Amino acid sequence: MEITPQGLAALTGGTVVGDEAAVITGFAKIEEAKKGDLSFIANPKYAHYIHTTKATAVLVGKDFDPQGECNATLIKVDDPYATLAELLRMVESMKPQPVGIENPVYVAEGVEIPENCYIGAFAYIGKGARLGNNVKIYPQAYVGEGVVIGDDTVIRAGVKIYEGCHIGARCIIHSGAVIGADGFGFAPNNGHFEKIPQTGIVVIADDVEIGANTTVDRATFGQTSIGRGTKLDNLIQVAHNVTIGEDNVFASQTGIAGSVHIGNGNMIAGQCGFAGHITVGDYNEIGAQSGIPKSVGSRQRLMGYPAVDARQFAKNQVYIKNLGKLFTEFNTIKK
C-alpha cells in the first residue's frame, strides 16, 4: 500500500497534525516502527513511545497531547484501535483471493460448487454438502456429508467439519479446528463405560470466528450452537449441547462443559473453566483462570476459583499474602 496522512484522514474522518504529504507504506507496532510505517496509540501506557518512535505517522485519539516534541505525524481520530482495525480490513480486502478448484480434490457427486468458490488441493467435500457463494475451503479440509456452509465463509487448511453441521455466512474457521466431533458421553455399566451415541449436530451462526485447534462437539441430540458474532480463540473446548449467544469473546484454553447456556456479550479471559449444566447471563467479564462452578447472572466482573466479584478477589489476595504475618502475630498474642 502507499498512502499519505491526508489520504488516511479523509478515509477515517481524522485530522492531521504534521506532514500531510508523507508516504505511508505499511503498519507496525509503535516501538518497532520504521520510516514509512503507520502505528497507533490506544493504551496510555504506550504514549511515551511518541517521542522515540520512527513511525512516519501515528493514529491517536482526538484529545491526545504528545506533551513535547515528536517526529511522527499525528492522525487524530475518535478511536485509534477501531480505526486501525478498519484500515487493516481494507488492506486485507485488496489482496488477491484464490478462486477455482485445485487438483486433486474429492467432491461428491451432485454437490454444486458456485463459480466464485475456492477448493484447495486434497480437500474433501461429502455427499449432500451445500456451499454458498464465495466460500473458500483451503487444502486438506474435510467437509462431511450434509454440511451447509454460508456465503463468504473461509475454512482454513486442515479443518474438519463432521456430517450434518451448519456453518453460517462470513465465518472464519482456522486450521486444525474440529466442528462436530462426538460429545464426551459415556454411561457407567458394571465397572466400565459404554458410549452414548451422539446424534445431534453443531450450528454456527453468521460472523463467527473459531481459532486454530478449537473443538466444538456435536450434541447428544438436538444441537450445540454458537450465536452470531461470537469469537473463539485457539485451543478452546466447547462440549456437547452447549448454547452460546451472540457477540461473546472467549480467550485461549477456555473449557466449557456439556449443556452450559451462555448469554450475549460476555468477555471470557484465558483458561477459564465452566462446570456443566449451568447458565451464564449477559455482559459479564470473567478474569483469566477463573472457575465457574455454578450459574452466574448478568453484568458481573468475576475472578478466581470459585469465581467471586473481582474486587473481592483482589481483597482476598491481599489477605492471603498477609496470612503468615497474621498467624505469627496471633501466636505471639496467644503465648
Q: Which residues are within 8 A (CB) of 206 and not within 5 positions of it... i.e. 6 or more apart? A: 150, 168, 169, 170, 171, 228, 229
Phi and psi angles of residue 243, each rounded to the nearest 5 degrees, phi first: -120, 120
Burial label for 110, CB within 10 Å (0-12, 13-18, 19+), is exposed
Whether 172 and 207 have beta carbons less than 8 Å apart is answered as no
User: Could you give the CA distance from residue 131 to residue 218 in angstroms, rounded to a whole number?
Assistant: 20
Whether 267 and 284 have beta carbons less than 8 Å apart is answered as yes
C-alpha cell at 327: 498467624
User: Could you give the CA distance from residue 330 to residue 332 in angstroms, rounded to a whole number?
Assistant: 5
- Where, residue-wise, is CATH 2.160.10.10 in the chain? 100-312
Residue 244 bridge partners (DSSP): 226, 262
Q: Which of 51, 166, 240, 261 is catalytic?
A: 240
User: Could you give the CA distance from residue 6 to residue 216 in angstroms, rounded to a whole number?
Assistant: 46
User: Could you give the CA distance from residue 122 to residue 322 in angstroms, rounded to a whole number?
Assistant: 60
pLDDT in tens, the chain (335 residues): 789 999 999 999 999 999 999 999 999 999 999 999 999 999 999 999 999 999 999 999 999 999 888 889 999 999 999 999 999 999 888 888 899 999 999 999 999 999 899 999 999 999 999 999 999 999 999 999 999 999 999 999 999 999 999 999 999 999 999 999 999 999 999 999 999 999 999 999 999 999 999 999 999 999 999 999 999 999 999 999 999 999 999 999 999 999 999 999 999 999 999 999 999 999 999 999 999 999 999 999 999 999 999 999 999 988 888 888 888 999 999 99
User: 3-class DSSP state for residue 311?
Assistant: helix
User: Could you give the CA distance from residue 274 to residue 99 in angstroms, rounded to a whole number?
Assistant: 41
Give pLDDT, residue 67.
86
Class of domain 5-93: alpha beta
- Where, residue-wise, is CATH 3.40.1390.10 in the chain? 5-93
C-alpha cell at 207: 460472523
Cα dihedral angle (204, 208, 210, 216), rounded to 10 degrees? -20
Tell me the CA distances in angstroms from 260 to 83, 232, 287, 303, one per residue in order.
Answer: 35, 16, 18, 19
pTM above 0.85, yes or no: yes
CA atoms within 13 A on the CB side of 37: 14
Q: How far is CA 24 from the centre of its chain?
A: 29
51: annotated active-site residue: no
Give pLDDT, residue 228.
98
| CATH superfamily of this structure's domain 100-312 | Hexapeptide repeat proteins (2.160.10.10)
User: Could you give the CA distance from residue 205 to residue 112 in angstroms, rounded to a whole number?
Assistant: 22
User: Could you give the CA distance from residue 287 to residue 169 in angstroms, rounded to a whole number?
Assistant: 30
